[in-house]
Structure formats: structure tokens, C-alpha cells
A and B are shown apart, each in its own frame.
Chain A
Amino acid sequence: MPVVAETLDAVQAATESGYKWGFSTDIEMEMAPKGLNTDIIRLISARKNEPEWLLEWRLKAYAVWLKMEEPDWAMVNHPPIDYQDLHYYAAPKKKPGPRSLDEVDPELLRTYEKLGIPLRERAILAGVEGAEDERPQVAMDAVFDSVSVATTFKATLAKSGVIFCPISEAVQEHPELVRKYLGSVVPVGDNYFAALNSAVFTDGSFVYIPKGVRCPMELSTYFRINARNTGQFERTLIIAEEASHVSYLEGCTAPQRDENQLHAAVVELVAFDDAVIKYSTVQNWYPGDAEGKGGVYNFVTKRGACRGARSKISWTQVETGSAITWKYPSCILQGDDSVGEFYSVAVTTNHQQADTGTKMIHIGKRTTSTIVSKGISAGKSNNTYRGLVRIAPRADGARNFTQCDSLLIGDQCGAHTVPYIESRNPTARLEHEATTSKIDDDQLFYCRQRGLNQEDAVGMIVNGFCKDVLKELPMEFAVEAQKLLAVSLEGSVG
């Protein structure tokens, strides 16, 4: 079962209100001093024993970043971020590989336990030798602050030629692949946060699926920000060779802190002829308290390149967390007949702000894209869908279907839809539908008359509203995402 699923189960059992992932872990950490400069970048690179080319790449990104300005076009407000007041490197102190659970830092184990990760998986995560023997369906990578703590089922995956490891390890063991693809979809100077990430990223997952291989299990990464005043900058790179197939899930939580935490990740996907990449996210970073204090600033660049003919990249996201979300998973549809999909549920409550959507760039002929966005706003939150569909001149017969629905709970929240369409090919067909609705008292009463309590009724109606997106998630994940939706909207009606 995906870690996130386990986590959510544990959370369902807990009854204390508010954000339920809000604990922090007291582990011996190695921290770089606060601040960002070339010395820090050199330190990160040295700690990771990186080759010279990667250090150069980081330094170049840093130079580009210095010349850029933080974007201000999104519908989000926050006090200025002091980039010199953050730690850019924090890692659990390394000891020689433990032999049994007894030797693992008990605090780390307790964290996994609180997250609901089953014991055997905890053993694997903590690096206990021989714990990998029984076979579940999900391989997992856990990134704790900036560092990948452990990856499970590497050996099983290796049998089919799949590489699934921390990107820092891929840099050591598969440098040719990393060098070839890193920054090939999101160039270092793509945007302010991508440049920052390129300069200071510390870890993340690397996936390589060889030609013709269908990845034998779901791959999953669990991200957690733990240390105080630490930015998290993970970097994920997934390459699917011809006719390969992979489904990847990521889950995110963070402890409850009064100060804001910065998360600026970059995800790059590359799909060759007939390859399929399905990328699912359940994001539940700490959203701040009811007054809007604290919470994660989530500035993420996610982009997939459908390089090959008939390739397909599908983004599915369920976002309930973060104080601020700035995120536009995109598809560049280069290959003829390639397919891009974006299915999104974004929930905002209290003072959360989300500006999220997608970009579908149609370049190849007969490329098709589907966008289904469901925004749910409650409390005093603001939820914006921002989407771009661009049809290049040579994209004959390109098609896009966009459906944006907003659901409002209460009358102090906002929902906005900002679709941009740029079509430079007259044969393209584009359809756009948008609706805004409210949770209706009659619907709630109808459910309650049949026996559901208020919260279950809201959950039922919200899940119905999100159905078109939830059905795109891997089954187990979908069930858990439904629970998460219900939990995050607890108390927002009535």
C-alpha cells in the first residue's frame, strides 16, 4: 500500500482536530549554515560527491537566478521571502548501515510509525539488510528534508531493468543518463523557482524504464519537510523509453510550524514513442493554521515532454495542503499523436491560496489533451485555475478539451478561472467548459435525512464533484484521497 495511504489511515484513526501530520522529529541533523551563495552550492555539491559538470551546472543556474525576479503574476499574496534566511542543506547524520531495527535511530523509526508506514517497510526504509524479501506492490523512496533516506525494492525492480533510486545516487551510478536529461525539459533558467531549485537541489527520485518494459509495480515517493527554516528543493527525473509504461505516485506532508516553509521542486518527465507515464500526486503540506499563520509555500515546476509519437503523459493531482500553491504541471506534446492529460482537485480552506492549472503545448500533429480541473474553496481561501492551451502552426488536427469546475463552500472564499488559449492552426479543435456551484443546503439535508452526518454528507458531495479526477488515481490511492478530502474539509460547513 502506498505510504500515503497508510499515513491517511493512521490519520483517520487519530481524532485531534486541525492538521494531523503536524509533528516534528528530533533527529541528529547536519545543517549547512543559513544563506545562499556559491560556497553553499559548492558545499552541497561536495557533500554529494558530485562530478564537476554538475557543480558547473548548479553555479550556472545560480548565476541565472540572481538576475531573475520572483514572479508576481499569480493570484497569491505573501510577505517577501528572505532567501538568505534559509538553510539549503539539512541531512540526517549518516551512520554505517544498521543491521536491525534496534540499531536504527529510534526517532526516525518513530517518525515512520507516526506516518503509519508499516513496520517491515519501516525496516526497509531505515536500511535494515534483508528486509526487502517479501514483495508488496509498491516501491518507495522517502525524502526527508533534503535527503533521500531510503528506497525500497530496488533489487526487485532491477531484475526488470527499471532504475528507481535517489537522484543523488543516479548521479554517481548513471551519470550519463542524468547528464543527458537533467534540465532537458525544464531548463535552468525556465523560471525563478526552477533556477533556484537547479542551483541547490539536494535530492529527489530518479526513474528509468527501459524500452518495452512495463514497470512491475507502482513507484512511490514520500516527501517530508522536517527541519526548521529549511527549504526543500527536490528534483525528480523520470525517463520512459520506447513502449515502456510507468505509474508514479508522490505524497507530501510537513510538520506544523509557525513560520512558513519553502518548497520549490522540479519534476521532469520524458516519454519516447508509445511510452506512457502516469504521475499522481497527493499533496498535503501543512496549510497554516485557521488564522493563516505558518504553512508551506509550494512553488513547483512540473513538466513532461512527450517526445515520441503516440506517447502519453498523464498528471493527476489531489492538492489539499500548502499555504500557497503555485503549480502548473504541463505537457509538451512534440510527438505526433501524443496525448497529454491533467486531472486536478485543489482544495483550499481557511486562508490557503492556490494558483494552479496546466499548460498543454501542442506541437505534433493530431496531438490531444484533456484538462479536468476541480477547485473546491472554503473559509477565506482563494482558488485559481490558470491554464494555457497553445497550438503550434504545424499541429494539424490538434484537439483539446478543458473542463473547469469550481465548488464554493460558504461565502467568504473565492474561485477564479483564467484560461488562456493560443491557437495558430485553424484545424485545431478546442472545447472549454466551466461551471461554478455551491454546496447546496438541500443536498446536505437530503443526505442527512437518509442518515449521513453533516461531515459525511459534505464528503459525499465533494467526492461526487471530484469523481472525474479521483477515478484517474490508482485505486488504493483514490480511496485514501477521498478520505483526505473529507478530513481537510472537516468543519468547513455549518
Chain B
Amino acid sequence: MLEIKGLAAVIDNKTILNGIDLVVPTGEIHAIMGPNGSGKSTLAYVLAGREGYEVTAGSATYDGHDLLGIEPEERAALGLFLAFQYPVELPGVNNANFLRTALNAQRRARGEAELNAVQFLKLARAQAKALSMPDDMLKRNVNVGFSGGEKKRNEVLQMAVLRPKLAILDETDSGLDIDALKIVADGVNALRGPDFSAVVITHYQRLLDHIVPDRVHILSNGRIVKSGGPELAHALEAGGYAAIVPEGASEAA
């Protein structure tokens, strides 16, 4: 279970997160929606451990582990995965090698046996196939020369191979056509189960048609201003943030 209590974070003397309270029970998928600049990515980064943020109040725990007190790679080994809004390019780093190194680092940290190259490739190819992605994605350098859509699909492939217990997807659907969008949804739905939870950050109801969330939260000015069931996303689609977010809180960029 992910439990965020009163979380506040500052960057460059600017308060971005303003007391977030959010509980995602294990087995559930929650969607976070909100105007641009409301702090969605910041929340994802703070949970994953990116440097540069000062947490000024609150806590975030996952299955009782204090997330904020441990290194990013330790959070990864606990099963936390972030699909980046802007995936990073690693020139000269082979995608398969990167992913295998990452998987084995996590497995080592958890005291599990590492996979050799043959075992790994078998796994990675099967996952690529299940997501209708070409094998050659594995042979290319990490995100280098990938189209926007390919980068997002590569995030999903990494997620499928790493099999996280808690996935945070940051606008993974933005800029995707409907086929690619289905791949993303398939990736999440394949992991869906009693031991898996996810936080899906999105602007669009259409993703939530494919990944039906247990809860939907609206983030505005660094605070969750409304929570509800899947119907909240529909209301948002119909009326926009203005209809939901309190006066003055939605200067969407």
C-alpha cells in the first residue's frame, strides 16, 4: 500500500506540492488528473527520489517502508517503477543490456538469482511480443532516435520486464495514437492483480476507458482537490477543470 500524508515539497524556494494526502491500497489503480503545472510530475519524481526537491512536510511510505529516506535504486528494488513523461536518452547504451543490468541489480538487491543473457533475452522478447513491439527495440540504444511514441512504448516494455509492484505512469499516453495507447493499457492491465498497484497520471479519459481506475484524483496547485470513482474522469471530460476545481486554483498552462 502506498500512503502519502501531508506531503509538501519545494524546489528553488517555490512550493510545488502543498500537502498531498493519497492512499493507494495494494491491488488498486488510481488515476491522477490535473491542469498542467499542478504538480503531477513533481509528485511522481518525489516518490521516485529525483534530486533537487526539498520535502518540507509529510511522509510517503510503501508497504511500511519510508520511501523518502532511501535511495532511488532502493525504491526501485522495492518494486517502484516510474514511466517518465520525458524518457531520457542514453547514447551508446544498448537497450537490452540496460534493462538486464537494471533487472539484475533489482534482483540482487532482493536476494534473487540473476538472469543470464539467454534467460533475459527470452523474457524480454516474450514481453516485447506480448506488447506487439518489434524485437529490434531491444537492440537499439536506450531511447536514442526513438520517436515520441516509441519512447513511451519503451517505457512500457521496461515496465513489463521489470514487473514492478507499484507503477507510476506519467502521461504515458500523451501524444500516442489509439493503437499505441492500447499497448500502454495492455501493459498495465497485464500486471493488474492483487499484488500490483498503479498511479496513472493522464489528461485523457480515453486512456481510462482501457485502464479502468478504482479511484480518480484531481490535483491542483499541489493539492488533491477532489477524489472520486471513474465517473469523476467523465465529469472532467465533459466540464473541464473549471467545473471541478475551486475558484482561482486552475490557471492551467
Residues of chain A within 8 A (CB-CB) of B141 are 464
Residues of chain A within 8 A (CB-CB) of B50 are 445, 449
| Residue-wise interface mask of B (63-84) relative to A, using a CB-CB cutoff of 8 A (1 in contact, 0 not) | 0000000011101110001101
| Residue-wise interface mask of A (452-469) relative to B, using a CB-CB cutoff of 8 A (1 in contact, 0 not) | 111010001101111110
CB <8 Å contact, B102 and A450 = yes
Decide if A443 is an interface residue (CB 8 Å cutoff).
Answer: yes
Which one of B1-9, B26-34, B88-96, B204-212 contacts A? B88-96
Decide if B162 is an interface residue (CB 8 Å cutoff).
Answer: yes
CB <8 Å contact, A460 and B82 = no
Selected from A446, A448, A461, A467, the residue in CB contact (under 8 A) with B87 is A446
CB <8 Å contact, B91 and A464 = yes
Decide if B101 is an interface residue (CB 8 Å cutoff).
Answer: yes
Residues of chain A within 8 A (CB-CB) of B72 are 445, 448-449
> A106: shortest Cβ distance to chain B, in Å?
38
CB <8 Å contact, B102 and A466 = no
Selected from B71, B75, B89, B93, the residue in CB contact (under 8 A) with A463 is B93
Residues of chain B within 8 A (CB-CB) of A452 are 73, 101-102, 105
A441 to B51 Cα, complex, angstroms: 8
Selected from B88, B99, B109, the residue in CB contact (under 8 A) with A446 is B88
CB <8 Å contact, A450 and B88 = no
For B158, the closest partner residue in chain A by CB is A450
CB <8 Å contact, A449 and B49 = yes
Decide if A442 is an interface residue (CB 8 Å cutoff).
Answer: yes
CB <8 Å contact, B71 and A448 = yes
CB <8 Å contact, A450 and B109 = no
Selected from A451, A460, A461, the residue in CB contact (under 8 A) with B73 is A451
| Residue-wise interface mask of B (94-112) relative to A, using a CB-CB cutoff of 8 A (1 in contact, 0 not) | 0000110111011001000
Decide if A157 is an interface residue (CB 8 Å cutoff).
Answer: no
Of the four ranges (under 10, 10 to 19, 20 to 34, 35 or more), the interface on chain B belongs to: 20 to 34
Residues of chain A within 8 A (CB-CB) of B102 are 447, 450-452
Residues of chain B within 8 A (CB-CB) of A443 are 88-90
A453 to B105 Cα, complex, angstroms: 8
A463 to B98 Cα, complex, angstroms: 11
CB <8 Å contact, A464 and B51 = no
Residues of chain A within 8 A (CB-CB) of B75 are 449
Residues of chain A within 8 A (CB-CB) of B91 are 464-465
A460 to B89 Cα, complex, angstroms: 12
A125 to B72 Cα, complex, angstroms: 47
Given A456-B101, A460-B90, A465-B91: A449 touches B48 (CB 8 Å cut-off): yes
CB <8 Å contact, B92 and A450 = no
Residues of chain B within 8 A (CB-CB) of A440 are 88
CB <8 Å contact, A460 and B101 = yes
A450 to B77 Cα, complex, angstroms: 8
Given A460-B98, A460-B101: A448 touches B76 (CB 8 Å cut-off): yes
> A470: shortest Cβ distance to chain B, in Å?
9
A449 to B79 Cα, complex, angstroms: 10
Given A441-B51, A445-B50, A446-B84: A451 touches B92 (CB 8 Å cut-off): no
Given A443-B90, A464-B91: A448 touches B49 (CB 8 Å cut-off): yes
Selected from B76, B88, B92, B158, the residue in CB contact (under 8 A) with A442 is B88
Selected from B92, B99, B105, B162, the residue in CB contact (under 8 A) with A467 is B92
Residues of chain A within 8 A (CB-CB) of B158 are 450
Selected from B51, B90, B93, B106, the residue in CB contact (under 8 A) with A451 is B106
For A435, the closest partner residue in chain B by CB is B91
> B2: shortest Cβ distance to chain A, in Å?
16
CB <8 Å contact, B93 and A464 = yes
CB <8 Å contact, B82 and A449 = yes
For A441, the closest partner residue in chain B by CB is B51
Task: Tell me which residues from 143 to 177 in chain B have a Cβ below 8 Å from any Cβ of chain A.
Answer: 158, 162
A443 to B71 Cα, complex, angstroms: 16
A441 to B105 Cα, complex, angstroms: 20
For B52, the closest partner residue in chain A by CB is A441
> A330: shortest Cβ distance to chain B, in Å?
27
CB <8 Å contact, B77 and A451 = yes
Given A446-B87, A449-B76, A452-B73: A460 touches B93 (CB 8 Å cut-off): yes
Given A445-B50, A446-B88: A451 touches B76 (CB 8 Å cut-off): yes
Residues of chain B within 8 A (CB-CB) of A464 are 90-93, 141
A466 to B88 Cα, complex, angstroms: 18
A6 to B84 Cα, complex, angstroms: 40
> A489: shortest Cβ distance to chain B, in Å?
15
A45 to B158 Cα, complex, angstroms: 64
A467 to B93 Cα, complex, angstroms: 8
Residues of chain B within 8 A (CB-CB) of A466 are 92
For A445, the closest partner residue in chain B by CB is B50
For B86, the closest partner residue in chain A by CB is A442
Closest 3 CB pairs of A and B: A464-B92, A464-B93, A450-B102
Name 8 extra pairs, CB < 8 A, besides A449-B84, A453-B71, A461-B93: A448-B49, A448-B73, A449-B73, A449-B75, A463-B93, A464-B92, A466-B92, A468-B92
Interface residues of A (CB under 8 A from B): 440-443, 445-454, 456, 460-461, 463-468
